[in-house]
A and B are shown apart, each in its own frame.
Chain A
Amino acid sequence: MSLYSHSIQINTDRCAGRMRCMRTCPTQAIRVRSGKALMLEEKCIDCGECITACPNGAIVPLTNPFGELTKFRHTIAIPSPALYAQFGREILPDKILNGLKKIGFDDAFDQALTCGEISFAIQEYIRDYKGPKPLISNTCPVIVRLIQVRYPDLVDLLIPIDNPREIAAREIKKKKARQYGLNEKDIGAFYLTPCPSKMISIKQPAEKGKSHLDGAIAISDIYGPLLSAMEAVANESYRKSLENICILGIGWAMVGGICRTLRLRNSLSVSGLTDIIKVFDDIERGKLRNIDYIEAYSCLQGCVGGSLTVENVYISYNKILKLIETLEFEKIKACPDIREVRKRYQEKYFFMEGKIEVRPLKPLDDDLTRAIAKRKQKDDLYETLPKIDCGACGSPTCLTFAEDVVKGEAKLADCVIKSAGQELSAAAPGRKSRIPLKGKEPCNL
């Protein structure tokens, strides 16, 4: 049994060892050993980039199959607001929620309402907050994992207000249990997810023992059935459907959607891991202390860009944007009662149930003196490598290869260029001279 569960699985039978996943992985968590991709569990943050990169479909998200609904006496769908962005402009959330009830769920809950409440709760929290800044959103599980693993010193900046899907599941289960006289255990709350990472925040939450959600179903898995089911849903009046949309919550599906609702003087919205890493590096240098709040999504453009969505990310982003514009134009501002939110905020209704712990990467060695020695060996070894990051050894870069060798996880002989005895310096003049291949190997642990 491994320490960390993941929402991504590599099917070794289908893996052809083509290394695209290894080169794509933003945290260098994949190696190719004996021709098959291998995940380094400690380094993986469940972003799902590898799923899209694999040409053989060998990397699959571990979401729940639709069939699992039968395990519960009463089932509730809680769609990510990204689901609302998957269909044409005239199909509004009302219709989608009704469609969900036709494909097998007993109920469907509009999470946008909870998002709106949490926007207010975040405002409350930031207003009285005196600690170090910027605070960081915890909505995207990949960002939470990235911080736990690569930026452990930033973990206290993650805002302790729980995310909408957890609060929505907690409350709707309570309500339905009362309404139908059921035990909460008999009620299954399923998140309709745009990405595999939500699955992991359900199976292994970063901060508490157990999630309030019972599973996650991929938007791409229910898209087809839902589309057909909606044909049988009678159209409500357009105006009436608009009035049911929470203008604060609907934007949570896209980057900028949270900050828009917070009315802060200084906030940032970032998407895409490469850019997020740059921003987090800046935070570590103490550069962004004048920013109050950062919302960050691993997927480009936010949840609408998730790997388990169907519609083109720019089309879906635009649908949400236009919806907000329409609501503003029509002066429809349905949103939660702020007094009620403030009251519940005082009762700790919105706070996370536990503390997010760090899980920093294992150092080169637990003993600092030995770690220093290994780091020097790694540098020396790296200097002898071709530095072309060909990946043929099965490690993504020459630097990671050097690290793998020093840690005893790869053999120096795996470097085909060194083994072939090719003298690259002739082909690439100006490079530093290389240690002759037959000479003493700089390290072999």
Chain B
Amino acid sequence: MAQLQLDQLMRAAANGDRPAFRAIYDATSAKLFGVAVRILKRRDLAEDVMQDAYLKIWDAAPKYRPEAGSPISWMVAITRNRAIDVLRKRTEVAIEDEKDGGERADDAPDPFEMTAQSRELKALLGCMEELSPDQRKCLLMAYYYGYTHEEISERMTTPVGTVKSWIRRGLIQVKECLGND
């Protein structure tokens, strides 16, 4: 859906227009659900998270400002935050053992492999190209799966302290690079 159209629907939803909100849902739910499934690896949990996210989006729509990013970025951030909150609360239940989809090496999201990249994604990836491959890998694992420093350290068999500093320095470098556009 065109960005402009989504902007208009968001304004209508902010004014209590439910059909507009339904249209937003139809246009964005597969993306938000995809984001939640990727992090939670279980459809049932991901669906709860997605539903909470849409209720929050409806409630917060009057406060949404287009200057602060596109509607879809804003909605993805709300969904990711909710999904990661749920993921952290469930550490004791060992989500890994019950997962029914998600993390397999061959379907891991790889933005660098995408053929159609937005201008914003191109700029971000251009900046990430300047990081070391390990740094890039850490950042992408954290973004797509919501892993903690410890979890990444296990998967990369690298000390937690090293992972921490890779990520910190990587983020600072990305920010500086994007700011210099």
**A joins B in a complex:** no
Q: Give B residues with C-beta under 8 Å from A.
A: none
